[in-house]
Amino acid sequence: GQQLNQSPQSMFIQEGEDVSMNCTSSSIFNTWLWYKQDPGEGPVLLIALYKAGELTSNGRLTAQFGITRKDSFLNISASIPSDVGIYFCAGHWRDDKIIFGKGTRLHILP
Protein backbone atom coordinates (compact mmCIF):
# COMPACT_ATOMS: atom_id res chain seq x y z
CA GLY A 1 0.00 0.00 0.00
CA GLN A 2 0.91 3.64 -0.14
CA GLN A 3 3.31 4.93 2.47
CA LEU A 4 4.72 8.30 3.36
CA ASN A 5 8.29 8.74 4.52
CA GLN A 6 8.58 11.83 6.64
CA SER A 7 11.91 13.28 7.72
CA PRO A 8 13.51 14.18 9.91
CA GLN A 9 11.93 12.30 12.79
CA SER A 10 12.90 15.05 15.20
CA MET A 11 14.71 18.37 15.12
CA PHE A 12 16.42 20.44 17.77
CA ILE A 13 16.89 24.06 16.73
CA GLN A 14 17.55 27.46 18.22
CA GLU A 15 14.80 30.03 18.35
CA GLY A 16 14.93 32.19 15.24
CA GLU A 17 16.29 29.46 12.97
CA ASP A 18 14.52 28.31 9.86
CA VAL A 19 13.13 24.76 9.71
CA SER A 20 12.63 22.43 6.80
CA MET A 21 10.94 19.03 6.76
CA ASN A 22 9.69 16.85 3.95
CA CYS A 23 7.66 13.87 2.94
CA THR A 24 8.24 11.48 0.09
CA SER A 25 6.33 8.58 -1.33
CA SER A 26 6.77 5.94 -4.00
CA SER A 27 3.18 6.63 -5.07
CA ILE A 28 1.60 9.79 -6.38
CA PHE A 29 -0.94 11.81 -4.44
CA ASN A 30 -3.63 14.27 -5.51
CA THR A 31 -3.51 16.30 -2.33
CA TRP A 32 -0.85 17.01 0.26
CA LEU A 33 -1.76 18.28 3.70
CA TRP A 34 0.41 19.53 6.54
CA TYR A 35 -0.84 19.41 10.14
CA LYS A 36 0.58 20.44 13.50
CA GLN A 37 -0.32 18.62 16.68
CA ASP A 38 0.26 20.00 20.15
CA PRO A 39 0.37 17.59 23.13
CA GLY A 40 -3.09 16.36 24.08
CA GLU A 41 -4.75 18.06 21.13
CA GLY A 42 -6.01 17.06 17.72
CA PRO A 43 -4.01 17.93 14.59
CA VAL A 44 -4.61 21.40 13.18
CA LEU A 45 -4.47 21.94 9.45
CA LEU A 46 -1.65 24.29 8.47
CA ILE A 47 -1.54 24.15 4.70
CA ALA A 48 -3.41 22.20 2.01
CA LEU A 49 -1.92 21.69 -1.45
CA TYR A 50 -4.09 20.55 -4.34
CA LYS A 51 -1.97 20.95 -7.48
CA ALA A 52 1.45 19.64 -8.50
CA GLY A 53 4.01 22.42 -8.27
CA GLU A 54 1.81 24.52 -6.01
CA LEU A 55 3.66 26.68 -3.51
CA THR A 56 1.54 28.04 -0.67
CA SER A 57 2.33 30.20 2.33
CA ASN A 58 0.56 30.67 5.62
CA GLY A 59 2.39 33.32 7.63
CA ARG A 60 5.87 32.02 8.37
CA LEU A 61 5.02 28.64 6.89
CA THR A 62 5.58 27.69 3.27
CA ALA A 63 4.78 24.35 1.69
CA GLN A 64 5.15 22.97 -1.80
CA PHE A 65 3.51 20.12 -3.67
CA GLY A 66 6.28 18.42 -5.62
CA ILE A 67 6.05 18.44 -9.38
CA THR A 68 6.23 14.63 -9.50
CA ARG A 69 3.31 14.47 -7.02
CA LYS A 70 5.39 12.17 -4.87
CA ASP A 71 6.78 14.64 -2.38
CA SER A 72 6.14 17.79 -0.40
CA PHE A 73 8.11 20.02 1.93
CA LEU A 74 7.21 22.38 4.72
CA ASN A 75 9.42 25.30 5.74
CA ILE A 76 9.06 27.41 8.86
CA SER A 77 10.96 30.66 8.91
CA ALA A 78 12.27 32.42 12.02
CA SER A 79 11.02 29.80 14.47
CA ILE A 80 9.41 30.87 17.74
CA PRO A 81 8.69 28.86 20.90
CA SER A 82 5.06 28.18 19.98
CA ASP A 83 6.23 26.31 16.87
CA VAL A 84 7.14 23.39 19.14
CA GLY A 85 5.03 20.35 18.39
CA ILE A 86 4.67 17.45 16.01
CA TYR A 87 4.21 18.15 12.32
CA PHE A 88 2.48 15.57 10.17
CA CYS A 89 2.31 15.40 6.42
CA ALA A 90 -0.65 13.59 4.89
CA GLY A 91 -1.50 12.58 1.37
CA HIS A 92 -4.71 11.76 -0.41
CA TRP A 93 -5.07 9.62 -3.49
CA ARG A 94 -8.46 8.28 -4.50
CA ASP A 95 -10.77 7.10 -1.80
CA ASP A 96 -11.79 9.16 1.19
CA LYS A 97 -8.83 8.16 3.31
CA ILE A 98 -5.68 10.13 3.81
CA ILE A 99 -2.35 8.61 4.73
CA PHE A 100 -0.19 10.14 7.43
CA GLY A 101 3.54 10.35 7.78
CA LYS A 102 5.04 9.38 11.13
CA GLY A 103 5.60 12.98 12.09
CA THR A 104 8.47 15.38 12.72
CA ARG A 105 8.90 16.40 16.33
CA LEU A 106 10.19 19.97 16.58
CA HIS A 107 12.07 21.07 19.70
CA ILE A 108 13.31 24.61 20.23
CA LEU A 109 16.31 25.06 22.48
CA PRO A 110 16.26 27.97 24.91
Told to check if 35 binds other proteins by CB under 8 A, we report yes
List the one residue out of 83, 63, 84 whose CA is nearest residue 74: 63
Give the amino acid at 108. Answer: I
Residues 6+ apart with CB under 8 A from 72: 22, 23, 32, 34, 49, 63, 64, 65, 66, 89, 91
How many residues in the shown chain lie near other proteins by CB under 8 A? 22
Q: State whether residue 82 is helix, strand or coil.
A: helix
Closest separation in Å from C-beta 106 to other proteins: 14
Told to check if 102 binds other proteins by CB under 8 A, we report yes
73 or 88, CB closer to other proteins?
88
Closest separation in Å from C-beta 97 to other proteins: 6
- x/- contact string, 46-85, with other proteins (CB under 8 A)? --x-x-----------------------------------
Contacting residues toward other proteins, per CB under 8 A: 30-31, 33, 35, 40-45, 48, 50, 88, 90, 92, 96-98, 100-103
